[in-house]
A = this chain, B = another copy of it.
Amino acid sequence: MRKITLAHGSGGSSMQDLIRDLFIKNLGNPLLNKLGDSALIDIGDKKLAYTTDSYVINPIFFPGGDIGKLSVCGTVNDLAVCGARPRYLSLGIIVEEGLDYHDLERIVLSIRYTCSKAGVNIVTGDFKVVEKGGVDKIFINTAGIGEILKGSRLSRNYIKPGDKIIVNGTIGDHAAAIVMARGELRFKSRLFSDCAPLNSLVSSIMCRGIRFMRDPTRGGLATTLNEITPSSGYNIRIDESEVPVKESVRALCEILGFDPLYMANEGKLVAVVSSRVASKILSLMKAHPLGRNSKIIGEVEEAKDKRVYLKTRIGGTRILDVLRGEQLPRIC
């Protein structure tokens, strides 16, 4: 009998197949079918963004964050990259009987702090306890509602040849920090997750020339770029030597045989912007604390085979495909 595997939750190709063949096929409707980071819904004369994510990260505390911080940032970022101002979050917590009250309190305080930093409120919630072994410590779901910012008009359909691809800093930091936090490697590092709410960065750069944004979480930058190409209709070419990666992250990836381009991020966004405004947006990003290491890493090409190409560090070119299988389970 066919079974669900970890790869079905990886963000990669197995998950995309499952989402298409099971979820879209059966639950599909015009809003869901767009598969954006958020659904865009009209309420009266307002446009709202609406999104949800479950957080199952292991370990629940890690350098640079914890499951509480992550569960606010992840949902805030899904709203922000759709051009929305995040406003209202729901919070669904499931814990295992026997969890330390103190750990739960630390997580709630972290949610509080991150909400205040992101300017959002938890407005509704649910708390469930299951028997010991029914769940691994604590899982959190947040859903979020944002108001689409005035002047924001983002869609993969607006992407044009010549557009620049910008990322707001080093990639792979989150996944690398989680690998280290799991303690399976016997050396020390000073890796921190990049987990952060991106809404203030987004509102500092929002302008007409931004065509599309997405946050490269599960599946990493490579998978996110591959989600952009099919509906834009064009190719993307990335210059590997321009992609910012911390030396420590690169070293860890070499040891483990991972590719930073597929490593999850929790405080990064990829923006596709008109070449006309690219340098202006780059300087605005660099002026923001969460964008100091922003770089233009590639561009949209005229060619229409809808693939992502990587100009490698040594000068060759290869197709940069979507993640196959599962790199790191429970990364978010």
Contact = CB atoms under 8 A, between A and B. Distances in A.
Contact of A4 (B22, B39, B101): B101
B129 A5 contact: yes
B127 A23 contact: yes
B56 A115 contact: no
A6 B123 contact: no
Given A46-B44, A139-B139, A32 B130 contact: no
A5 B97 contact: yes
B90 A50 contact: yes
Interface string A96-130: 11111110110011011001000001111111111
A98 to B, nearest CB: 5
Interface stretch (A140-148, A171-179, A200-208): A140-148
A252 interface: no
Given A48-B43, A50-B145, A92-B143, A3 B56 contact: no
B143 A52 contact: yes
Contacts of A43: 43-44, 46, 48, 147
27 contacts: A1-B102, A2-B100, A3-B98, A4-B96, A6-B129, A8-B129, A22-B104, A22-B105, A23-B127, A27-B91, A27-B122, A27-B125, A32-B125, A41-B145, A43-B147, A44-B44, A50-B88, A50-B90, A50-B123, A51-B90, A51-B124, A52-B92, A56-B128, A56-B130, A92-B92, A131-B330, A134-B330
Interface of A: 1-10, 15, 18-19, 22-23, 26-27, 29, 31-32, 38-39, 41, 43-46, 48, 50-54, 56, 58, 87-88, 90-102, 104-105, 108-109, 111-112, 115, 121-131, 133-136, 139, 141, 143, 145, 147, 329-330
